[in-house]
Amino acid sequence: MIRSSRVMPAAGSNTAQQLRRLYVDFEQALDAGDWAALGDLDTKLQRALPKLQKQLLGAEAKAELAKLNTLYSKMITEGQGEKARIRLQLSQQEATKQGVMAYLGHHE
């Protein structure tokens, strides 16, 4: 599981650099399919957003936020795909279970 110990931007920190690192953490977790790590990173980002909104962000930080936003959209799309895949798998397992139960019911 990918874990980031990084804390999001505090006043006076290099916000763009921290956002870039967060982007890399998100990208690695997404590539690894580590949904728990993505959840942790999302929580950190959600906590940091109010602080970021109060800061005057430079062009570099704004560009990093735009990259995160694009990756976030990709993460949502992939998450929806994963959800559909799991739903299908559960449905197939239930159908298999019902088939086995029917088979066993006829052969007792």
Closest CA to 2 of 32, 46, 23: 32
- The pTM of this model reads 0.69
CA angle 68, 74, 49 (to 5 degrees): 30
For residue 28, the number of C-alpha atoms closer than 13 Å in the C-beta half-sphere is 12
The rounded radius of gyration (Å) of the Cα atoms in the chain is 21
pLDDT at 32: 94
Domain ranges in the chain? 15-78
Closest CA to 71 of 22, 35, 34: 22
Q: Which two tokens stand for residue 74?
A: 């990709």
Closest CA to 62 of 22, 7, 16, 24: 16
pLDDT at 108: 63
pLDDT tens for the chain, 108 residues: list them: 444 445 454 444 588 999 999 999 999 999 999 999 999 999 999 998 898 888 888 899 999 999 999 999 999 999 999 999 999 999 899 888 888 888 888 766
